[in-house]
Chain A
Amino acid sequence: MKSFFWENLRIALSELWSHKTRSILTGTGIVIGIIAVSLMSTLINGVDGLFEESMKFLGRGNLYIEKWPWFGDEDWWTLRNRPRIELDMADEIKERSEYAMVVAAERGRSANLSYKDLSAENIYIHGVTSNYPEVSTVDVEFGRFFTESEDRTGAQVVLLGSEVAKTLFPQGNPVDKMIFAGSKRFRVIGVLAEMGKFMGAFSNDTQVIIPLATFNKIFHGPWGRRSITVKVPEHLVEEAKEELRGVVRVLRGLKPEEKDNFAINQQNAFRQTYQGIKLAIGGTGMIITALSLLVGGIGIANIMFVSVKERTREIGVRKALGATRSQIQGQFLIEAMVITASGGLVGLIISTVISMAISKFLFPATMSFGVAFMAIALSAAVGLFAGLAPARKGAKLDPIEALRYE
């Protein structure tokens, strides 16, 4: 049987070669379908990677007590009118909660920085407690983090994000240099390791970190983000969240009938929302892809019927010379599969190029071997299904009638 495969492949290739325009037009449907399917999978993989990468910034066991929930459809005005988070609750929470392992507080707002004649504008100033490294992924590359006593006394020390360090100190070591944040002088005590962007958009490297007490001393007023991060054991997050809710309600003196006037955010909220979006995009993509492959397959089936009809006499000759039904069927099936597999290959090459471009300019999206294999297998399968009916029709022809066909 092996020799028939090569023989049929040879026939298919010469047949397709002699009808170049027709073959290309027919294959184009499959090319488009395969581009859609492989690009879609590659993009979803890429976004997945990006998402997981971003999720590292939010520890799995972290609960964030904030004014605003990250997701949800609560009334904006109600949320707007909630009291802001009192960061001094942190100590109380640590005391009252059984699950809390670390409780860190933070505030943030933007400001302009300068060193000598260099300046960095709109830099996110992050005021955090000295235990902040325990609840986040910040990593000190040079120098050191500030101590608890520096936090307590409101020392004017700062750690620079890697981008900020590059902007203000293009050459040389920033440690121990004095920079200005507005009119206040800060001593640089460390530089943070590069962290990358959150969701491909918000850079974590354009921030600076100062002690929370220092922040409170310098920046007054209600603006900016306030959050208390409670680190709990990862496997007890849900229980801890309930407990924490109770603790905060007590601390805020809420009556039983009153609603929560704070939000407890967690990584899961991102995950659930992301899964929902991914499912919607993926599902729509699947339908579009399936439709385009279906249309492509119909085109192939159509052209194969034409091909069988045109070659009725050839089929008659082959049968007279001893070709069996399965050999004729195989010939046309392989022809259909050659069209779709080449279409698939072309589609794959095009989508590889597109995904390389996306990787370069937007976000990491590499075509995986699995996606490539699936695309080729899928296109061959489309050929198989589309070719089946025409091939059977050809195989069943009566040799006498086929030989007489004009």
Chain B
Amino acid sequence: MSLIKVKDLYKIYQMGNTEVRALDGVSVTIEKNEYVSIMGPSGSGKSTLMNLLGCLDTPTSGEFFMDGINVATMGDDELAHIRNKKIGFVFQTFNLLPKSTSLRNVELPLIYNGEIKAHERRDMAIKALTRVNLGDRVSHKPNELSGGQRQRVAVARALVNNPAIILADEPTGNLDSKTGEEIMVLFDELHKQGNTIILVTHEEHIAAHASRVVRLLDGKIAVDEATNRGKP
């Protein structure tokens, strides 16, 4: 069974009298432990696809199965549960809670899980922070950390609930190239450890870390091929 199975996905917005087809019949399948980048110029529909894959939005029509579950027709709260259990987000702007420590930020998905006891949450969060080499920064607040460290806290937060996919939207966009490269090395490692990673980016050298690249144009998939890295 494929991890993600998308078939004939449409997302159509009504802007006044004109109809905008943000996604115009997209079909894609992603297997477990794949490392995929999604590329495309702005307006190509890559953000829309990312929002749909991240279960932040529902399609106008089409099929979308994640881990065998049909998420295309789910309501708000069901989607929230899917996001909580299956998806780990990494955003361009980190999106950490500024007043909370690294530990609290990383604990957040576990809190909304609702079934994990406080001391377990703490242990799991510390473990995730250790995996991104921030075991010594648990009680720092975001403003006491560098950009790279902040993004690593965000990665730890994405990892902590053992999601089916890690969805990273321009994860290096707010970092200098050296720090960005460090973050990409971290993603490579996570991939090696068995995680499924979807990268949304417009930078070729970032996309090159993945083993497969999906290029969007005008709401359609233009290219879906293995990268050099992914070629046998």
Contacts and interface: CB of A to CB of B under 8 A. Distances in A.
B114 A400 contact: no
B174 interface: no
Interface in A311-361: 313-314, 316-327
Which of B51, B76, B80, B118 lies at the interface centre, i.e. has the most chain A CB atoms within 10 A of its CB?
A: B80
Interface residues of A, number: 24
By secondary structure, the B interface counts as helix
A15 B99 CA distance: 9
B204 interface: no
A3 interface: yes
Contacts of B118: 3
Contact of A320 (B56, B81, B114): B56
Interface string A1-28: 1011001000000110010000000000
Contacts of A4: 111, 114
A219 to B, nearest CB: 83
B89 interface: yes
B40 interface: no
Interface string B51-67: 10010110000000000
A399 interface: yes
A189 to B, nearest CB: 79
B195 interface: no
Nearest to A7: B111
A313 B95 contact: yes
B98 to A, nearest CB: 8
Contacts of B114: 1, 3-4
Contacts of A316: 95
A321 B89 contact: yes
A403 interface: yes
A323 B80 contact: yes
Nearest to A395: B76
B56 A400 contact: yes
A316 B84 CA distance: 13
Nearest to A311: B97
Nearest to B111: A7
Nearest to B115: A3
B95 A14 contact: no
Which of A1, A317, A322 lies at the interface centre, i.e. has the most chain B CB atoms within 10 A of its CB?
A: A322
Contacts of B54: 320
B89 A325 contact: no
B99 A321 contact: no
A325 B97 contact: no
Contact of A403 (B81, B95, B99, B157): B95
Contacts of A313: 95
Contact of A399 (B56, B84, B109, B157): B56
B113 A322 contact: yes
Nearest to B84: A322
Interface in B117-158: 118, 157
B56 A322 contact: no
Contacts of B13: none
Contacts of B111: 3-4, 7
A321 B91 contact: no
Given A325-B77, A400-B56, A14 B99 contact: yes
Which of A15, A325, A400 lies at the interface centre, i.e. has the most chain B CB atoms within 10 A of its CB?
A: A400
A239 B116 CA distance: 75
A400 B109 contact: no
A306 to B, nearest CB: 17
A47 to B, nearest CB: 49
A205 B77 CA distance: 74
B175 interface: no
B95 A319 contact: no
B95 A322 contact: no
Nearest to B82: A322
A325 B76 contact: yes
Given A3-B111, A7-B111, A314-B97, A319 B80 contact: yes
Interface string A135-161: 000000000000000000000000000
B7 interface: no
A353 to B, nearest CB: 35
A400 to B, nearest CB: 5
Contacts of A7: 111
Contacts of A320: 54, 56, 83, 89, 95
Nearest to B167: A320
A400 B83 CA distance: 13
A325 B112 CA distance: 11
Interface in B83-111: 83-85, 89, 91, 95-97, 99, 108-109, 111
B77 A324 contact: yes
A400 B51 contact: yes
Contacts of B56: 319-320, 399-400, 403
Nearest to A396: B76
A400 B57 contact: yes
17 contacts: A3-B114, A7-B111, A15-B99, A317-B95, A319-B83, A320-B89, A320-B95, A321-B109, A321-B112, A321-B157, A322-B80, A322-B81, A322-B83, A322-B84, A322-B85, A324-B76, A325-B77
Given A324-B77, A324-B112, 14 more contacts: A3-B114, A4-B111, A317-B95, A317-B96, A317-B108, A318-B112, A319-B83, A320-B83, A320-B89, A321-B89, A322-B109, A324-B81, A400-B56, A400-B57
Nearest 5 CB-CB pairs, A to B? Answer: A322-B84, A322-B112, A324-B77, A324-B80, A321-B109
